[in-house]
Chain A
Amino acid sequence: MSKINVLSRSRLRARAISGFLRHFIGHGGAQLGLVCLGFFLAVAAMPDTLVGPLETAITATGDFLAPPSRLHYLGTDEVGRDVLNLVVHGARISLTIALLATVISLVVGTTVGITAGYFGGLADVCLMRVTDFFFVVPSFVLALVITPVALEAMGAGGEILGFRPSLFVIIVVIGLTSWAFVARVIRSQTLSLKERTFIDRARVAGSSNTSIMLRHILPNLVPQVAANGALVVANAIYIETSLSFLGLGDPLQPSWGTLLSLAQRSGAASVGAWWYLGAPGVCVLTVSLAFVLIGNALDDTFNPRRRVIP
């Protein structure tokens, strides 16, 4: 009996999920976004097999600021490194930073939003004032202040999971400066969810506040978290690019922002080396656009009027 139960439950889940996916994929925007994202994820997953190890000034093979040719599809930079090589390796750094920062931002934002919305009263006031602070403080300026201080405190040596610690500082900084938006959205949704009768029923059933938040409210927030998460990734990519462009990136682990910064400093624009500025720029734009498209498609798919619950 319990076997039948498990089977039919997974069958139902599978049916709901496939229905959801069919609707989601039906969006033109989602298709484009997924294709772009899939391409960049594949590139980021295996940079070494695609273009070989990251080139440095010593291992550089090309001429200085050479335009695209058969040898270097995207030209070279001011020390003769292949731009394609740099951009492909940059994808890995940029995507890692953006995705991990989004995880932090979603976890902090959701926790704060649910707690403030569910408990209300003093907890709500205190938490939302903190959120307001992060909301109105120009996150960019805050990041500019925190990053060097944190780097100083942690030291820039060593490696964690194959990435240098400076990368993690940037991740934390971006995560901490972009959760306020998520917290606001989640709080407002929690406020409406907690008035639903099934929360009263859970209370009469003797469920604790933690269990109500985790088992009743959180699963119903999945649409909001997913749709906003995609937008937060796009935002995180922009912040990362800007911070690196201003020189807070790690030159030994160049992200797209770092490349743009190097290009700008080497005067690529004035000598007409469009490939050097354009390649990372187009990458940033495409990936952000992909996430925004996916976010919008998710938002539309989760629209409660025609929602299929996975």
Chain B
Amino acid sequence: MPDNAELLRLENLQVRFPMQSSAIDSILGRPKRVVRAVDGIDLNIARGEIVALVGESGSGKTTVGRIITKLVQPTGGRLLFDGTDMTMAHGVSGLRPYRHRVQMIFQDAYQALNPRHTVFDAVAEPLRSLGLVENHDQLTERVSESLSAAGLKPPEEFFARFPHELSGGQRQRVVVAGALGVRPELIVADEPVSMLDVSIRAQLLQALIDLREKYSLALLFITHDLPLAWLIADRIAVMYLGKVVEMGSADDITLKASHPYTLALRDATPKLHNEAGRGGVQALQGEVPSAARVPSGCRFHPRCPLAFERCRVEEPPAIAVGPQHTSACWLAK
């Protein structure tokens, strides 16, 4: 359970990729276009807390995860981990202590495992690279322990297997075991179950929740699935086009949502017992605009059913609508 000690804090974090400008553009002196993948994010995660980051594809949620795991260098803002500024930390040896504390679970488990490495090698890699074990016996012990913790039992049976000999769920468990092996304080899980069958999904989610209880592990759970976020997370942050539009406790976001985008996401989710009967799904109109052309004013206004004049001109700040519940909408109160 969260003990309120802050572990990770993102302050106005930005990632902008410059776009290749055409020769004509540079002759005409047009300004260089930039892709604003992440456009000023504030987020904090306490020890042992599960925070879900929800958004459509293209909302920049994966990039946030990659910034936290230092796979992408932010172009602005700050990244604080346990009070230390890690924004500019780089280099393999410079990041080693940080890697020991922050790990990642990847979306596509088949891609995330080297086809030429056995399960043992895959799980042992971080332990070896981070210098966490002294000899081979200790390594074997830690690998077995991580595999069992991730639900692969008996672990010895999996040591010599190659990824192509495992099922999708088993592969994802190997990736989870690799992240757990170093006993991190924070795991960034990027859509860890989106590739899995529904039945295996529940098992893996339960495993993650158990691990949080056991090791008081903080988790940033990146997903596009709002009900899933509600199920697993303590708090939910909803992202749209590089920005957090609404943030609050899991119940606040699902039951008392105030941002039209969150409402739209919620209504776009099929339910088994829908008042409107079968087919009662409200689809959100249009698509996420390109991050290279962020609309003026509120970035959601072109798709928003409630948009009015002010939304086109002025960008709404995060307005507090309840304790720990903010919404970036002019109509929020």
Instruction: Name A residues whose Cβ lies closer than 8 Å to a Cβ of B.
Output: 1-2, 4-5, 8-9, 12, 16, 196-198, 200-209, 211, 215-216, 219-220, 309
Contacts of B278 in A (CB 8 A): none
B160 at the interface (CB under 8 A from A): yes
State how many angstroms separate the Cβ of B297 from the closest Cβ of chain A. Answer: 35
Task: Evaluate contact between A204 and B92: CB separation under 8 angstroms.
Answer: no
Task: Evaluate contact between B129 and A208: CB separation under 8 angstroms.
Answer: yes
Q: A205-B126, A309-B115 are in contact. Are A12 and B71 (CB under 8 A)?
A: no
Separation of A44 and B120 alpha carbons in the complex (Å): 43
Task: Evaluate contact between B92 and A208: CB separation under 8 angstroms.
Answer: yes
Task: Evaluate contact between B108 and A197: CB separation under 8 angstroms.
Answer: yes
Contacts of B115 in A (CB 8 A): 220, 309
Task: Evaluate contact between A198 and B129: CB separation under 8 angstroms.
Answer: no
Contacts of B162 in A (CB 8 A): 12, 16, 309
Contacts of A216 in B (CB 8 A): 114, 117
CB 8 Å contact bits of B204-235 with A (1 = contact, 0 = none): 00000000000000000000000000000000
Q: For residue B96, which residue of chain A has the nearest CB?
A: A206
Task: Evaluate contact between A196 and B125: CB separation under 8 angstroms.
Answer: no
CB 8 Å contact bits of B81-106 with A (1 = contact, 0 = none): 00000000000100110011001101
A–B pairs, 22, beta carbons within 8 Å:
A2-B140, A4-B156, A5-B156, A5-B160, A12-B162, A197-B111, A198-B113, A200-B66, A201-B175, A202-B125, A202-B129, A204-B104, A205-B99, A205-B126, A206-B95, A206-B130, A208-B129, A211-B129, A216-B117, A219-B114, A220-B114, A309-B115
B164 at the interface (CB under 8 A from A): yes
Task: Evaluate contact between B116 and A309: CB separation under 8 angstroms.
Answer: yes
- Checking A12, A198, A204 against B160 with a beta-carbon cut-off of 8 angstroms, the contacting residue is A12
Task: Evaluate contact between B118 and A9: CB separation under 8 angstroms.
Answer: yes
B178 at the interface (CB under 8 A from A): yes
Closest 5 CB pairs of A and B: A205-B126, A9-B160, A197-B111, A206-B129, A206-B99
Q: For residue A205, which residue of chain B has the nearest CB?
A: B126
Contacts of A215 in B (CB 8 A): 117
Separation of A207 and B95 alpha carbons in the complex (Å): 10
Task: Evaluate contact between A9 and B130: CB separation under 8 angstroms.
Answer: no
Contacts of A205 in B (CB 8 A): 99, 125-126, 129-130, 178, 182
Contacts of B96 in A (CB 8 A): 206
Name, among B66, B96, B111, B161, the residue most crowded by chain A CB atoms within 10 Å (CB to CB).
Answer: B111
Q: A2-B140, A309-B162 are in contact. Are A204 and B69 (CB under 8 A)?
A: yes
Contacts of B66 in A (CB 8 A): 200
B159 at the interface (CB under 8 A from A): yes
- Checking B108, B111, B116, B125 against A207 with a beta-carbon cut-off of 8 angstroms, the contacting residue is B125
Task: Evaluate contact between B71 and A204: CB separation under 8 angstroms.
Answer: yes
State how many angstroms separate the Cβ of A184 from the closest Cβ of chain B. Answer: 23
Separation of A8 and B158 alpha carbons in the complex (Å): 10
- In B112-161, the 8 Å CB interface with A consists of 112-118, 120, 125-126, 129-130, 140, 156, 159-161
- Checking B92, B117, B140 against A206 with a beta-carbon cut-off of 8 angstroms, the contacting residue is B92
State how many angstroms separate the Cβ of A310 from the closest Cβ of chain B. Answer: 9
Task: Evaluate contact between A204 and B116: CB separation under 8 angstroms.
Answer: no
- Checking A5, A8, A16, A201 against B106 with a beta-carbon cut-off of 8 angstroms, the contacting residue is A201
Query: How many residues belonging to B are interface residues under a CB distance threshold of 8 Å?
Result: 38
Separation of A205 and B175 alpha carbons in the complex (Å): 11
Separation of A13 and B162 alpha carbons in the complex (Å): 10
Q: For residue A11, which residue of chain B has the nearest CB?
A: B160
- In B149-202, the 8 Å CB interface with A consists of 156, 159-162, 164-165, 175, 178, 182
Contacts of A202 in B (CB 8 A): 114, 125, 129
Contacts of B99 in A (CB 8 A): 204-206
Task: Evaluate contact between A207 and B129: CB separation under 8 angstroms.
Answer: yes
State how many angstroms separate the Cβ of B186 from the closest Cβ of chain A. Answer: 12
Task: Evaluate contact between B156 and A1: CB separation under 8 angstroms.
Answer: yes
CB 8 Å contact bits of B292-318 with A (1 = contact, 0 = none): 000000000000000000000000000
Contacts of B165 in A (CB 8 A): 12
Separation of A219 and B118 alpha carbons in the complex (Å): 13
Extra inter-chain contacts (13) besides given A202-B129, A206-B100, CB under 8 Å: A2-B140, A197-B106, A198-B111, A201-B104, A201-B106, A201-B175, A204-B126, A205-B126, A206-B92, A206-B99, A207-B92, A215-B117, A216-B114
Separation of A148 and B92 alpha carbons in the complex (Å): 47
Task: Evaluate contact between B112 and A203: CB separation under 8 angstroms.
Answer: no
Separation of A220 and B117 alpha carbons in the complex (Å): 10
Contacts of B71 in A (CB 8 A): 200, 203-204
Name, among A203, A206, A219, A309, the residue most crowded by chain B CB atoms within 10 Å (CB to CB).
Answer: A206
Contacts of A197 in B (CB 8 A): 106-108, 111-112
Separation of A216 and B116 alpha carbons in the complex (Å): 8
Separation of A2 and B159 alpha carbons in the complex (Å): 10
Name, among A8, A203, A309, the residue most crowded by chain B CB atoms within 10 Å (CB to CB).
Answer: A203
Q: For residue B131, which residue of chain A has the nearest CB?
A: A206
Q: A4-B156, A9-B160, A309-B164 are in contact. Are A220 and B116 (CB under 8 A)?
A: yes
Contacts of A203 in B (CB 8 A): 71
CB 8 Å contact bits of B66-84 with A (1 = contact, 0 = none): 1001110000000000000
Task: Evaluate contact between A204 and B156: CB separation under 8 angstroms.
Answer: no
Contacts of A8 in B (CB 8 A): 159-160
Task: Evaluate contact between B112 and A201: CB separation under 8 angstroms.
Answer: yes
- Checking A9, A196, A200, A208 against B159 with a beta-carbon cut-off of 8 angstroms, the contacting residue is A9
Q: For residue A5, which residue of chain B has the nearest CB?
A: B159
Contacts of A211 in B (CB 8 A): 129
State how many angstroms separate the Cβ of A14 from the closest Cβ of chain B. Answer: 12
Task: Evaluate contact between B114 and A198: CB separation under 8 angstroms.
Answer: yes
